[in-house]
Structure 1
Amino acid sequence: MTTYDEYGIPVGAYSEEPESLTVQAWRVARAFFLYRIRPAVQEKHSVLNRREWRVRRLFTLVKVLVVIWWVVLYWGERGAFNGAVESCSWDKWENWEDGANPHRLIFVADPQLIDPHTYPGRPWPLNPLTYKYTDLYLRRAYSRFQTVLYPDTIFFLGDLFDGGREWSTRTTTSPEKRYRHYGDDFWLHEYSRFGDIFFKHWGDGGMKPRPGQPGRKIISSLPGNHDLGFARGVQVGVRDRFNAYFGDGNRMDVIANHTFVSIDSLSLSALGQDSPQQVQDIWRHTTDFLENAKEQKKRLIRRELRVQQGLRPYPGFPHHDIKSEDLAAAKLPHAHNEVTNFPTILLTHVPLYRTPGTPCGPLREHWPPTPPPAGQPPLEHDDRNAIAVRGGYQYQNVLNREITADIAEKVGDIRYAFSGDDHDYCEVLHRGYASGGGGIREITVKSISWAMGVRLPGVVLVSMWNPVDAHGNSLSGDASKTIQTHLCLLPDQIGTFLTYGMLFGLTFALLLIRANLVTFGFISTTLPTTEAPLLPTSNPSTSSAEHEKAALASNPSAETPFSDPAHSSNSSTSSERGGTLQVRSAQARTRSISPASYALVPSTSQPPPSAASSKYTYPLVQHAGYYGSSEDQASYNNEKVKVYGHSNVVSTRVAKPKKKRRGWNLMFYELRSSLARVCVCGLVWYFWLIWRG
């Protein structure tokens, strides 16, 4: 009992001595540390922990693999093409005198668009996928030529299609029975496909000519044996169809003071065989062209020089009458002044004849040169490195010796020749034919398609610079050095696919290792391994009967939330159930009992609750985290919760949580989930790159 003095002050309240300044200062310092410094340090430490957690979440194995896939896919679908074409930039290999403005040209050989003739019998979907990826490869490479290299002229060297010779016309049928149901409609579809790849993207880099150049030109009239056939296999109707859409296979072009002579060597190869009328119709057009080749070259050179001098290409017509009977034989007037021939460049799909075993040089990919003995020069006869001199159905690897000599003599002054057909690179100097110098230097151009048997497709870049005077004489002093060439290699598409395959194998292996580490508990996972609730909804160690007893003890006459008057007879059955959460209906939530029945506030008018029920005198959320014994948990997992309204059953549900994944189940779940995330993210990026070309 506290006593007070006469002044109302508790006795002994100020009996102790006041605290010293040192003690008070210590108390202030301690309070400052506890309530200012330590919370600030803990907050900073918490921030650092959160940042470290975010970094760890950011650099998980799955996310790192996704980024790696994105980088590798971009390299394979974009970077490889950009890098390959940029490595061929003109200024990296051109070597002209200062002030030169060379004309830049690209030779493209053997695109051979894949069609049913290429892989007959190949099942779906391999053929459509081959079409898609081959066209995509050609489109990407060709578009980079326009945007990066921006050539002034592009020449195609034949074999534009793979089965063009097989598709019937109105007057012809395919030599092979299985292709006879393909007709003009299919050929026109292939022509449109060719145009979508090459003609449509010709202007990707622009259409304006470079400074000092007359304009940009694309020439695709030279046919290949897959377009027309070979020798007697050429059908006139098929050739006429090709010429109608691409132009005459026999033509001359003067470009950058060089004369380009294109020869339909396929039709010419029928010369010398049995000569019924239909065979003569095949080769006669080309022989007539060759007979007039030298004079035609002179006329074109004169016209070009007149244009360079600012004159009209042709002199005016004579002012005299022409009789009607002489009108058909009348010719356009031409200048007849003497001019010097420009360097002549021969274009033919089939390479010129050479003796068997003539080596093709070190740039041949499929069969590189045979190493010579130590200290010896390269072999002069190398069957391994050479183009085989042979032929077969609708093809011949090289032209006949007689036809090659006839072309060289009638065209005359040939310095360079470019051909296709072989699909691989080959460079040969022909010294046995009439030429404009020390022989005809022939380059067989690689195929531009990755489906033609070479891992590294390519094109040949040509830079030409030949300033001349009014008579066509070269001002550089050496007409044999007016051309520079460069082999431009394109990406290895098969190697790209192999890279994707190896990366997938590495991805699978890493994710499998990760899944095993998660299974054995060496690392934690950020993926959910169970679908159970994060917090418990009840304490399974206490039965619903105990809850009812606790409520009835506080107010026996009241209706408890855990019982219903209509179902009071079931209370004994309910008391046998485990500790499941009893959910009340909206009507049951109305207070029909006093607040004291929940035992939230002790009351002197009520007896103290029993030990079993005293634990639940507070709301059940106060006991979150308590699961009870394993026996109670097993009983809880097998329990069905009945949800009652005021007097009727509303619904039932199973409150059985799923078990945590363990062992093999956890490993497969982790592997499947992580691999699916990587694949989905990678495929979305990959298809976007394909869709954007």
Structure 2
Amino acid sequence: MTTYDDYGVPVGAYSEPEGLMHQAWRVARAFYLYRIRPLVGRGFNGLKRGDWSFKRLFTLVNALVLLWWAVLYWGERGIFNGAINTCDWDTWEKWEAGANPHRLIFVADPQLIDPHTYPGRPWPLNPLAYKYTDLYLRRTYSRLQTTLYPDTIFFLGDLFDGGREWATRTSVSPEKQYRKYGDRFWINEYRRFGNIFFKHWGDGGLDPRPGQPGRKLISSLPGNHDLGFGKGVQVGVRNRFNAYFGDGNRIDVIANHTFVSIDSVSLSAVGQEASEEVEHLWRPTTDFLENAKKQKRRLIQRELRRQQGLTPYPGFPHRDIEGEALVKAELPHSNDEVAEFPSILLSHVPLFRAPGTPCGPLREHWPPTKPPVGQAPFEKDDRNAISVSGGYQYQNVLNKEITTDIANKVGDIRYAFSGDDHDYCEVLHRGYASGGGGIREITVKSTSWAMGVRYPGIVMVSLWNPVDAHGKPLSGKADRTIQTNLCLFPDQIGTFLRYGSLFGLTFSLLFIRAFLVAVGIIKPPPTPTEIPLLPTTNTLSNEKAAQKFEDSPSPTDHTHSSNSSTASERGNLQARSKQKYTYPLVQHAGYNPPVNEDQDHHTRKQVKIYGGVSTKPEKPRKKRKGLALFEYELRTSLGMVVVLGGVIYLWLVWRDSS
């Protein structure tokens, strides 16, 4: 018996609608029952479950995709990690037990490429060159921090390629084609340099290693591409560089060694024609050299006081200083007698040497000429040497007079490090004043793969010089305080060539495969069955429904009485209620099943009029043969390899681009 509430509504006739979570659960359940489970039962791609095998899984296309993934990871990650790992300090340092050396790295000629590097190159070659050279520098430099974690990094000049060309407010480029690039362009290049080197300085951390005073990055040494050379240096350009990077002439005491940096490109204006007219260019460096020995001594005294826990500067004397004397007044310093620390000279341009002086076996471009069997290496080897020559805004080595003057005024030089040449060169200069048996100079390779060397690199320096309170070496060996190692970076051009070779191999294999499929030697893979997103009734059930509709009385048939009509409808409802559906009724909504070719004309007409179903049968797909099959197989298989390989490649590049 039906009961009613106070409003006359049958009790239980209405209920609260389902919540959103419950509806989502029902949709997910229906998706599994009517989409996932039928697929699993039939097998993917129209294959039965029993058709799956290792042969279908390990196809040529899948094997090539895996091969590309492995090669791309190797080329974009593996070779960089491997190259830096082989340079680990512990693999080449040979100090006494218990030593805690200071670890330093020299980086030379990153020379960020810009419109000055490849003038006239069409788009998009230049943007791609910028992208890949910056990416290479960022990858190698970041791994230097995370893997090697140096205490100090020195840059040896040529930070930019066209830095000297970009105008300032007081200067313009000497070349007309670059005058449209102004100060704003240089600022953007400075920001670009910072995003590569300053931003990633802390990738491995910022804390000093145990026993070390701290970490330091020094990038103030200018190169000829930063300022110009000799008389070509413009004061405005130099002032801008010094404002952002620091003075090119400086002295740093690091690990009980004295590093003397000199602006050799400005100093080279001495001795050039009409040098008196450009005295403002070379005068700052000559003044710096005049006071170099005195300044070294003061800095050594301050460092020793710091090591003993004293203040670097003694107290100021309380006395009056006249106005004229105030100009020349100096900061107080102790008068303790101290020993010299080994001096290390830093110059962008290498020191003078006789033409043909060999650079040694580590030079990449031209290894030493092999002497006849039983004879010593040649003392003069032009192909293995740095050319003693010069040109517009450059000079391969300093003048002999300038080199001699530097050696005499700095004094006690044991090592010198330079850049500019882009390749490695190691020379022992015995003809200049030094702190021992001569000045051993190492010209550091460029760190960029766009500077004419296949294997860029850096020079690693390990410093260990324990001293007493007066600066004397405790080991008694002042000439054995430095160890060096050449660290080579990957061959980026070689990596691109390997990618090209692999693509050629991939295309050849897929070409052969497509040909074999086209001629019938290899069976083509089965065509995936088209399955709608939601399951529908099959063709057989639709045919039965159409036949049942045809046998039922027409709405226009007046031979049936109302009673028989009612009875017929009741019977149809009963039969319909007893019908068992394998899918929900909603699955039939809007579905237009194909009609078989053997269906009679009357049924096709009725279905068209009353069922809303298209009478056009589904046309079977044409089977590809011959050239069409060959083109289809080659295009689809190659496209799959390229797309899947390209996704991994873009991901690897994107990860290193920030």
Q: TM-score, normalised by structure 2?
A: 0.81
1:465 paired to 2:458: no
> How many percent of aligned residue pairs carry the same amino acid?
72
Map Cα deviations across residues 7-61 of structure 1 (whole Å, 9 max, x no partner): xxxxxxxxxxxxxxxxxxxxxxxxxxxxxxxxxxxxxxxxxx9688332222111
The residue aligned with 2:188 is: 189
CA distance in 2, matches of 1:470, 1:275: 49
The residue aligned with 1:591 is: 552
User: Is the CA contact 1:511–1:674 (under 8 Å) kept in the aligned structure 2?
Assistant: yes
The residue aligned with 2:106 is: 107
1:254 paired to 2:217: no
Distance 1:586 1:459, change over 3 A: farther
Secondary structure class of the residue paired with 1:295: helix
1:644 paired to 2:599: no
Counterpart code for 2:643: V
The residue aligned with 2:202 is: 203
Map Cα deviations across residues 406-451 of structure 1 (whole Å, 9 max, x no partner): 1111111100000000000000000111111111000000000000
User: Is the CA contact 1:109–1:447 (under 8 Å) kept in the aligned structure 2?
Assistant: yes
Map Cα deviations across residues 123-175 of structure 1 (whole Å, 9 max, x no partner): 11110000000000000000000000000000000000000000000000001
User: Is the CA contact 1:530–1:660 (under 8 Å) kept in the aligned structure 2?
Assistant: no
The residue aligned with 2:621 is: 658
The residue aligned with 1:430 is: 429
The residue aligned with 1:500 is: 499
Secondary structure class of the residue paired with 1:289: helix
User: Is the CA contact 1:641–1:655 (under 8 Å) kept in the aligned structure 2?
Assistant: no
Q: CA deviation at 1:529?
A: 8.8
CA distance in 1, matches of 2:242, 2:62: 56
Q: CA deviation at 1:514?
A: 1.5
User: Is the CA contact 2:608–2:615 (under 8 Å) kept in the aligned structure 1?
Assistant: no
User: Is the CA contact 2:259–2:346 (under 8 Å) kept in the aligned structure 1?
Assistant: yes
Q: Identify the match of residue 632 of structure 2 among 646, 654, 669.
A: 669
Map Cα deviations across residues 178-209 of structure 1 (whole Å, 9 max, x no partner): 10011110000000000000000000000000
Secondary structure class of the residue paired with 2:111: coil
Counterpart code for 2:605: Y
Q: CA deviation at 1:657?
A: 1.9
Q: CA deviation at 1:522?
A: 2.7
Q: CA deviation at 1:334?
A: 1.0
CA distance in 2, matches of 1:384, 1:66: 45
Distance 1:51 1:283, change over 3 A: farther
Distance 1:641 1:347, change over 3 A: farther
Secondary structure class of the residue paired with 1:644: helix
- More off after superposition, 412-421 vs 507-516: 507-516
Secondary structure class of the residue paired with 2:145: helix
Equivalent runs, 1:74-85 vs 2, <5 Å = 74-85=73-84
The residue aligned with 2:384 is: 385
User: Is the CA contact 1:356–1:388 (under 8 Å) kept in the aligned structure 2?
Assistant: yes
Unaligned runs of 5+ in 2: 1-47, 533-537, 555-596
Secondary structure class of the residue paired with 2:212: coil
Counterpart code for 2:616: R
1:146 paired to 2:145: yes
The residue aligned with 2:7 is: none
Counterpart code for 1:443: I
Q: CA deviation at 1:333?
A: 1.0
CA distance in 1, matches of 2:653, 2:82: 18
The residue aligned with 2:349 is: 350
CA distance in 1, matches of 2:548, 2:601: 22
Q: CA deviation at 1:659?
A: 1.7
Map Cα deviations across residues 347-367 of structure 1 (whole Å, 9 max, x no partner): 000000001100000000011
CA distance in 2, matches of 1:532, 1:287: 84
Q: CA deviation at 1:249?
A: 0.3
1:279 paired to 2:278: yes
Distance 1:642 1:490, change over 3 A: farther
The residue aligned with 1:488 is: 487
1:687 paired to 2:641: no
User: Is the CA contact 1:426–1:445 (under 8 Å) kept in the aligned structure 2?
Assistant: yes
Distance 1:587 1:237, change over 3 A: farther
The higher relative CO (CA closer than 8 Å, separation ≥ 6) is in: 2
Q: CA deviation at 1:587?
A: 9.2
Distance 1:52 1:420, change over 3 A: farther
Counterpart code for 1:667: F
The residue aligned with 1:234 is: 233
CA distance in 2, matches of 1:512, 1:652: 43
User: Is the CA contact 2:607–2:615 (under 8 Å) kept in the aligned structure 1?
Assistant: no
Counterpart code for 1:184: D
CA distance in 1, matches of 2:171, 2:395: 23
Secondary structure class of the residue paired with 1:480: coil
User: Is the CA contact 2:102–2:464 (under 8 Å) kept in the aligned structure 1?
Assistant: yes
The residue aligned with 2:289 is: 290
Unaligned runs of 5+ in 1: 1-48, 540-580, 594-635
CA distance in 1, matches of 2:617, 2:354: 88
Secondary structure class of the residue paired with 1:384: helix
User: Is the CA contact 2:269–2:275 (under 8 Å) kept in the aligned structure 1?
Assistant: no
Q: TM-score, normalised by structure 1?
A: 0.77
Equivalent runs, 1:24-35 vs 2, <5 Å = none
Counterpart code for 1:78: R
RMSD: 2.6
Q: CA deviation at 1:477?
A: 1.5
Q: CA deviation at 1:320?
A: 2.1
CA distance in 2, matches of 1:90, 1:399: 33
Map Cα deviations across residues 236-262 of structure 1 (whole Å, 9 max, x no partner): 000000000000000000000000000
CA distance in 1, matches of 2:219, 2:503: 41
CA distance in 2, matches of 1:126, 1:312: 56
The residue aligned with 1:453 is: 452
Secondary structure class of the residue paired with 1:486: strand
Q: CA deviation at 1:323?
A: 3.1
Q: CA deviation at 1:64?
A: 1.0
User: Is the CA contact 1:315–1:335 (under 8 Å) kept in the aligned structure 2?
Assistant: yes
Secondary structure class of the residue paired with 1:253: strand
The residue aligned with 1:176 is: 175
CA distance in 1, matches of 2:175, 2:89: 45
Map Cα deviations across residues 314-373 of structure 1 (whole Å, 9 max, x no partner): 111112222344322322111122211100000000000001100000000011111111
Counterpart code for 2:444: V
Q: CA deviation at 1:588?
A: 3.7
User: Is the CA contact 1:370–1:379 (under 8 Å) kept in the aligned structure 2?
Assistant: yes
Distance 1:465 1:646, change over 3 A: closer
User: Is the CA contact 2:163–2:225 (under 8 Å) kept in the aligned structure 1?
Assistant: yes
1:362 paired to 2:361: yes
Secondary structure class of the residue paired with 2:525: coil
User: Is the CA contact 1:159–1:226 (under 8 Å) kept in the aligned structure 2?
Assistant: yes
Secondary structure class of the residue paired with 2:388: coil
Counterpart code for 1:327: L
CA distance in 1, matches of 2:473, 2:629: 80
CA distance in 2, matches of 1:417, 1:503: 44
Counterpart code for 1:408: A
The residue aligned with 2:158 is: 159
Distance 1:439 1:179, change over 3 A: same
User: Is the CA contact 2:546–2:603 (under 8 Å) kept in the aligned structure 1?
Assistant: no
CA distance in 2, matches of 1:319, 1:292: 26
Secondary structure class of the residue paired with 1:485: strand
Q: CA deviation at 1:592?
A: 4.2
Q: CA deviation at 1:285?
A: 0.4
User: Is the CA contact 1:530–1:658 (under 8 Å) kept in the aligned structure 2?
Assistant: no
Distance 1:589 1:93, change over 3 A: farther
1:322 paired to 2:283: no
The residue aligned with 1:678 is: 641
1:373 paired to 2:372: yes
Counterpart code for 1:84: A
CA distance in 1, matches of 2:62, 2:366: 43
CA distance in 1, matches of 2:602, 2:61: 40
Distance 1:673 1:313, change over 3 A: same
The residue aligned with 1:420 is: 419
CA distance in 1, matches of 2:510, 2:312: 73
CA distance in 2, matches of 1:69, 1:349: 42
Alignment coverage as a number of residue pairs: 560
